[in-house]
Structure 1
Amino acid sequence: MGEFNLEARWPELFEHLEETKRTAVLNSLASAWHEGWVPNREDVENLTDFARGAIDEEEYDRRVAGASERSRVFNIAS
């Protein structure tokens, strides 16, 4: 599965998160990782942006739907 150290990989995404939100984001991502999710910058950025209030829930949902569609199209083409 590889190493789960997203803060070391993309420190700029976590630098503006307060400790409780950082912990919540990491716990959420770790849970997804244990279920087979492969860490990627886009997903981490979307969740950290949402957690720090840079985007609202509607924008978060829009971004996630877009990422999901791109992944689906890529997997069909592969």
Structure 2
Amino acid sequence: MAGFDVVTTWPELFKDLDDGQQETVRQVFATEHVSGWEPDRAAVADLVAFTLGHIDFDAYLSRSADRAAVELAS
């Protein structure tokens, strides 16, 4: 896969996901990368946690918003 591959970059985050789940998460971030955003480990970990059911959608959105606020402030 060309570009930024989150599965290759942080394989330890994906150990509990099946192949289909890994590909879904990979594609989400590949799309974001094409639009100019390179995710950090925390963003990927949160989507993996949501995919596994460890956090709900509200928590996922809240964490994403918190990260965006920090990025805007810096």
TM-score relative to the length of structure 2: 0.88
Aligned to 1:22: 22
Structure 1 residues without counterparts, runs of 5 or longer: none
Q: After TM superposition, where is structure 1 displaced by more than 3 Å over at least 4 residues in a row? A: none
Q: 1:9-48 to 2 correspondence within 5 Å?
A: 9-48=9-48
Structure showing greater radius of gyration is 1
Number of positions where the alignment pairs a residue of Structure 1 with one of Structure 2:
73
State the TM-score, normalizing by the size of structure 1. Answer: 0.84
Segments of structure 2 that go 5 or more residues without pairing to the other structure are: none
CA-atom RMSD, angstroms? 1.5
Identity of aligned pairs, percent?
30
